Structure 1
């Protein structure tokens, strides 16, 4: 799942698709709101395990990270089948 790198804009977009606040994502990823805010605003370079936790929290709810350097990056939402 972690083969495609993710960036701050994708994290913000993923939250937007789920209508999550930073506090919700931070809680679900077990990171602080301050850390998430700093990552999303590109004030810090996040640790790999922090990005992995954020990615996993979003992917559990159906967010998929797509793209590459040549095509650009994005997100899409695929809700899990009931």
Structure 2
């Protein structure tokens, strides 16, 4: 069971398939580009993007996807009235 202190960290990692697709669109990346940048397999990315909502993946997969997108200039936005989103920082 997760400790109360670790719960916010886990929630910070949560991203949705919609956010991943939107982030790729902002970067003008194909799924292949994200696979190369993150080290996550192309079939895994295709599968994850077809399932609506929070990514159903291992924590390390989510971390690698998020790191690759953030390194490319995407910022993940928490629920600010309109729900989770993304924006380009550059």
* Structure 1, unpaired ranges of 5+: none
1:62 is aligned to 2:80? no
By how many angstroms is 1:71 displaced? 4.0
Please report the TM-score for the alignment, with normalisation by the length of structure 1.
0.85
What is the root-mean-square deviation in Å for CA atoms of aligned residues? 2.3
Contact kept? 1:66, 1:74, Cα under 8 Å: yes
* Structure 2, unpaired ranges of 5+: 1-8
Cα distance in 2 for partners of 1:29, 1:37 equals 14
Residues 17-42 of structure 1: CA deviation (Å, up to 9, x unaligned): 00000000011100111000001111
Where does structure 1 differ by over 3 angstroms across 4 or more consecutive aligned residues? none
Cα distance in 2 for partners of 1:52, 1:62 equals 15
Which is greater in Rg? 2
**Number of residue pairs matched?**
79
Q: Give the match for residue 11 of structure 1.
A: 20
